[in-house]
Amino acid sequence: MNTEELWQKFSKTKDTNIKQKLIEKYIGLVKIVAGRMYNYYGSKIEYDDLVSFGVLGLIDSIERFDVNRNIKFETYAQIRIKGAIVDNIRKLDWVPRSLRKKSKEIQKEMLILENKLGRVPSNIELAEHLNISLKELEETLSDTVSFNVTSLEDLLANKGEYIIDDEKEINIPEKVFERKELKEILGDIIDNLPINQKTVISLYYYEELTYKEIGKIMELSESRISQIHSKAILNIKNKLYKIGIY
């Protein structure tokens, strides 16, 4: 049976053997998502664990997917695979409370300094404002990149951007408008980021490159790319906060 035939038969019978064939067919999708997420979770968790969490999301996707909806399975599955990985990592509670506190403090003080300067502060300016060394600031940015990305994704999920729900209300005009509006707002914010932050965000999310690949293009270390990524996320969150979204 080809893929379409497998889906049609599974939607009617829910046969476990067919489900297994679908899992085998799409396992590569799990590995792709896990590989990308390993970029910022890798120091805390093994790649194989990310794949295992992702498989749970894949199985859930297969069981819940409606073949009659006008959406590609790959698009639907990637969202649930990523969500399953994030949910299971949260259960491990690997981000220390002190690190979360530091991240929120940096975000708050970054916004205060940006309002004062009328522009995004440099790392040196931010470190001086926080009364910490540049090294400590950059290490914190590297350590909190995954937390910052996850917290932003929580916001986007709540606004309906990345969650494709099974409920019919997702397609009502108000919901469609809200998602479109948020996309446009995020697009404008990203366009106005400092050039290094905009480049990292574009290469990471749109070109789907790894930190190592981005580092080669920008001639920077993976650690430096991680720092830029983290600061870009804080910058985006602050700009969303200013307009009352975050």
pTM of the model: 0.60
DSSP 169: G
Say which CATH number the domain at 34 has. 1.10.1740.10
Domains held by the chain: number: 2
pLDDT at 246: 56
**Which pairs with CB-CB distance under 8 Å and at least 24 residues apart come from 38-41?**
39/204, 39/210, 39/211, 40/145, 40/146, 40/149, 40/211, 40/226, 40/229, 41/89, 41/146
Placement of tokens 């949260």 in the chain:
90
Contact call for residues 148 and 237 (beta carbons, < 8 A): yes
The C-alpha atoms of residue 180 and residue 159 are separated, in whole angstroms, by: 11
Q: What are phi and psi of 167, to 5 degrees?
A: -75, 145
pLDDT at 164: 36
171 and 229 in a single domain? The answer is yes
The C-alpha atoms of residue 42 and residue 171 are separated, in whole angstroms, by: 36
111 and 232 in a single domain? The answer is yes
110 and 55 in a single domain? The answer is no
pLDDT tens, residue by residue, 37-86: 887 676 668 889 899 999 999 999 999 998 888 788 998 898 889 888 88
3-class SS shares of the chain: helix, strand, coil, % to 5: 80, 0, 20
pLDDT at 42: 66
Coil/strand/helix, residue 1: coil
- With vertex at residue 20, the alpha carbon angle to CA 16 and CA 22, rounded to the nearest 5 degrees, is 115
pLDDT above 50: residue 35:
yes
29 and 108 in a single domain? The answer is no
Which of 92, 126, 154 is a domain's end point? 92
Which residue segment(s) compose the domain that 79 sits in? 3-92
Contact call for residues 203 and 212 (beta carbons, < 8 A): no
* Average pLDDT taken over every residue of the chain: 82
